[in-house]
Structure formats: C-alpha cells, structure tokens
C-alpha cells in the first residue's frame, strides 16, 4: 500500500526539475565585470584571513592586500555613482561615492597592517575593512 502511494511522488519529481526553464543557469553564465571584481576582492579578503589563521605567508597576504587596494580604486568605474540609484534600489549617488572612498581608505589601512606583520593589527583592520569598507555597500545603514 505504501509503495503505491510513493510511486506518484517519484513520477512528479522529474517534472518539477524541468520547471527551471531552458536557458543557462546562473552558474553557466560568466560573471559581470562587477561580479568578477567582487569575487576577486572576496578572494583577497579570504587570503588575508587565511594568513591570520596560519595558512599562507605574509608575502601572499601582502599581495592580496595590494590587489584589494587596486580593485577598490576601480569601484567608481565599475559602479558609477550616477547609475547607482538606478541599478541598486538602496544606493544613492552620494552613498556610492562615500562607499568607494570608505573601501579605498580601509583597503589602504589593511595593506599597511599586513605589511607590519602584527597579527592583532591585521585582525582589527580586516574586521574594519569588512564592516566599514565592504559593508559600506553590502550592509544597510542600520547595521
């Protein structure tokens, strides 16, 4: 009796899987330039975090911090403040400009900390960068 009740469910599962559309999945599409930039910046943050927790060298962390600084300088090009409010509902041109400056400042301070080699300072600057640099765009104003 239970088997007969289970068989219709087995028949429905493949049909549900076909409801996803016929186009490529988001994983199959190449990232936008903005998405690629965010992936690079996150990878840099993770390399620096890895150094703090014992994987990677200070040189690797320094290279990641240098890369993060370079990417942060490209934020106005990748996310033009004039278009911010059109593309991102909660982003005004003023907030976009301030966020770009915050990321530039925090990335530069993180680079200086990584170059110092002081793990406590690197940890503090990393947290600050994630909250006030990355968070200038990725956290709402209430957090």
pLDDT of residue 32: 92
Is 104 part of a structural domain of the chain? yes
Higher pLDDT, 15 or 122: 122
Contact (Cβ atoms closer than 8 angstroms) between residue 69 and residue 109: no
Distances, alpha carbon 43 to alpha carbons 63, 82, 136, in Å: 12, 28, 18
Is 6 part of a structural domain of the chain? no
Is 143 part of a structural domain of the chain? no
pLDDT more than 90, % of the chain: 66
Six-digit token string for 97: 């400009």
pLDDT grade for 6, boundaries at 50, 70 and 90: very low
pLDDT grade for 13, boundaries at 50, 70 and 90: very low
Neighbours of 96 (CB within 10 A): 23
* Average pLDDT score over residue span 3-32: 56
Q: How many domains is the chain partitioned into structurally?
A: 1
* Average pLDDT score over residue span 28-40: 92
Instruction: Spell out the SS3 assignment of 7-38.
Output: HHHHHHHHHHHHHHCCCCCCCCCCCCHHHHHH
Phi/psi class of residue 56: alpha, beta or left (left: φ > 0; alpha: ψ in -120 to 50)? left
Is 91 part of a structural domain of the chain? yes
pLDDT grade for 7, boundaries at 50, 70 and 90: very low
Is 51 part of a structural domain of the chain? yes
Is 79 part of a structural domain of the chain? yes
Is 119 part of a structural domain of the chain? yes
Is 88 part of a structural domain of the chain? yes
pTM: 0.77
CATH number (domain holding residue 40): 1.20.120
Domain of residue 115 covers 33-138
């Amino acid at each position: 009796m239970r088997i007969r009740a289970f068989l219709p469910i087995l028949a429905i599962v493949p049909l549900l899987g076909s409801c996803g559309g016929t186009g490529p999945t988001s994983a199959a599409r190449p990232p936008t330039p903005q998405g690629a930039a965010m992936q690079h910046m996150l990878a840099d943050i993770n390399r620096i975090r890895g150094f703090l927790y014992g994987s990677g060298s200070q040189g690797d962390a320094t290279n990641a911090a240098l890369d993060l600084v370079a990417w942060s300088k490209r934020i106005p090009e990748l996310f033009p403040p004039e278009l911010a409010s059109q593309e991102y509902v909660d982003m005004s041109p003023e907030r976009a400009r301030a966020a770009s400056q915050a990321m530039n400042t925090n990335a530069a301070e993180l680079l200086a900390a990584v170059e110092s080699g002081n793990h406590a300072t690197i940890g503090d600057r990393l947290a600050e960068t994630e909250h006030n640099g990355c968070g200038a765009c990725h956290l709402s104003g209430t957090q």
